[in-house]
Amino acid sequence: MSGIQAPNVSCNLDKASRKPTRFPLVRLEALDNLWFQVSGTLCNIACEHCFISCSPTNHSFEFMTLEQVKGYLEESVRLGVKEYYFTGGEPFMNRQILDILELTLQYGPATVLTNGMLLRPRVVERLAEIEAQSIYSLEIRLSLDGYTEEMNDAIRGKGVFQKAMAGMKRLVEHGFLPIITVAKTWEDSEDEAVLEGFLNTLRAHGYQRPRIKILPSLRIGREAARSHGYEDYEYVSEEMMQGYDASNLICANSRIATSKGVYVCPILIEARDAWLGNTLSESAAVGYRLRHQACFTCYMFGSICSNFVSVGRNV
Amino acid sequence: MFKKIALFGGVYSNYLALEETIRDAHRRGAEALFCLGDLGAFGPHPDRVFPLLREYRIAVVQGNYDHSIGNGLDDCQCGYTDPRDNYFARISYRYTFAHTSEENRRWLKQLPTEIRLQLGPYRVLLCHGSPRKMNEFLWESTTSTHFLEKLCEDYQADVICATHTGIHWQRALSGKRHFVNVGAIGRPANDGRTEVWYTMLSLEDGDRLEATFVPVSYDYQRLAHEMRREGLPEEFVETILTGWWTTCLEVLPAKERRRGRF
């Protein structure tokens, strides 16, 4: 399972310097990962720590249609995209999601980020069929934020734990090995105990080979209000980029397609400057300045959105 | 220009499997043998693979492990994030570093990161992870075909051969393009078999390219015994004896992970 590592970067942050006057520009090295905001900002729950404030009523971004996704998939061939990711909101709220995944798996590997609550028996059966007929992996990343009902539901809402665990159990019964994705909301000193807690709970629910990915929390959106947001000095400066392998940054290897065009990364779709064009090619041609504080988290931890470290450091 | 060559990666100090691979490849008529990197890690007595490579004039591409040992880096740059994987990686790296002579370390440092050769009409590129990154994992189930096409285009190659993941696979691309992950001879391919795998790349019926994966039997009981005597982790020994991976599982994508036992 994947833990959060102490960042392997040297950064002499001058806490007194506060916000940099100029932000580093990051160009797309290769479009390895194409994300889809497939259910827009619509979600069946409203987690306390959501970094884009998704909810049942947030219509800033709408569902994507199969046709829209198909257009981007076609365009992605020429650009040599390696993997596809689907997020939201809650992707399984989109009624076309199964057709979208089936189509995508003809192009390449797909990963879906879900809260697991809408994984009804027929949905999971179909997912298993779709996965079996492709040479590519279909990864299901299921979000959970506590290993007890009390811990999880305090963040994700009442009744979520039971439904998510039922969804996970169904996935496991159909041969999936979901990646349980946990946003870190505890202190470092508790790492070991929390991990043990998750392993025990998952095994007790029938998941004998649990895969766990722990994400750093992104202190924007609703999470800024839940925790403390970022400190004034937590920005990426040009100086910090010296000797840093920029290919670790999502904006150097990914873009996200939405109902409103292509944005720089899955984290920043609500930022005004994050829209980079209507097509992948347009969005690939322009670089992005790391002017947001969430960029600081990405800088410190690297490739936080991908499943695992599929592309290692440059050597 | 070649017509038949043998390719292997991930020796991981398994000098017993290397001896058998060399014997088998010569018996099958390979004109030359190429190693795609990662000579150390996992197994015992790392210095024992070097004389074999030199004696049989095997050209070697540098792997991330070779780069790390050669340059005296702190870790193997394997890219694990799982604390358990990192724990075992550290044990194995420390052992390998301590038991690799200075001369061999210097040799690892100067290895090329790619080798290009001609196999009949095919321009073949040999690398460790991918042509663009030494430690990039190219798994069968998470590498799209158009991504591989783009690599062939960008690097002006008809055939790209890599290793690094430890599991062999191949895919025919458009025209005469082809991608082959040649596998590893240092440890089994997480398939429940004790044999290890190398690749024979040859021209058949004139100009048709064929990549054949060849299983190699070797004295794995002896290797296990030597690993234990050297104090290497019992988890590694178990893999040698059973053919199932017990560590480094986190990097496996869903399909590859499901085929294994753990």
Query: Is B133 in contact with A310 (Cβ distance < 8 A)?
Result: no
CA distances (Å), origin A139, targets A38, A68, A86, A142, A155: 16, 22, 10, 10, 24
The β-bridge relationship of strands B208-216 and B122-126 is unpaired
Distance from CA of A251 to the nearest CA of B (A): 18
| Contacting residues of B for A136, CB less than 8 Å apart | 141-142, 144, 255
For B64, nearest residue in chain A (alpha carbons): A315
Query: Is B250 in contact with A211 (Cβ distance < 8 A)?
Result: yes
**In chain B, how many domains are there?**
1
ipTM: 0.95
The model's pLDDT over A123-181, given as tens digits with 9 standing for 90+, comes to 999 999 999 999 999 999 999 999 999 999 999 999 999 999 999 999 999 999 999 99
Distance between CA atoms of residues A125 and A135, nearest Å: 18
Distance from CA of A272 to the nearest CA of B (A): 31
Distance between CA atoms of residues B155 and B125, nearest Å: 8
Kindly state the percentage of chain A with pLDDT values over 90: 73
Query: Is B81 in contact with A3 (Cβ distance < 8 A)?
Result: yes
Distance from CA of A176 to the nearest CA of B (A): 8
CATH of A26-301, one of 3.40.640.10, 2.60.40.10, 3.20.20.70, 3.50.30.60: 3.20.20.70
Domain span at residue B99 reads 4-259
Residues of B near A (Cβ–Cβ under 8 Å) read: 64, 67-68, 77-83, 129, 132-137, 139-147, 149-151, 250-251, 253-258, 262
- The DSSP 8-state label assigned to residue B138 in this structure reads -
Query: Is A138 in contact with B254 (Cβ distance < 8 A)?
Result: yes
Among B68, B79, B147, select the one facing A309 at the smallest CB separation.
Answer: B79
Which uninterrupted H or E stretch holds B88?
Answer: helix B83-98
The model's pLDDT over B204-247, given as tens digits with 9 standing for 90+, comes to 998 999 999 999 999 999 999 999 999 999 999 999 999 999 99
Among A78, A138, A315, select the one facing B134 at the smallest CB separation.
Answer: A315
CATH of the domain at B145: 3.60.21.10
Is the pLDDT score of B76 beyond 90? no
The model's pLDDT over A14-49, given as tens digits with 9 standing for 90+, comes to 555 568 888 999 999 999 999 999 999 999 999 988
Among A109, A177, A309, select the one facing B144 at the smallest CB separation.
Answer: A109
Instruction: Using alpha carbons, select from A103, A76, A232 the residue that is nearest to residue B145.
Output: A76
Distance between CA atoms of residues B25 and B30, nearest Å: 5
Instruction: Kindly indicate the confidence band of residue A303, based on its pLDDT and cuts at 50, 70 and 90.
Output: low
Structure tokens at B182: 């040649």
Domain range summary for chain A, segments of one domain joined by +: 26-301
For B140, nearest residue in chain A (alpha carbons): A136
Structure tokens at B202: 């040859």
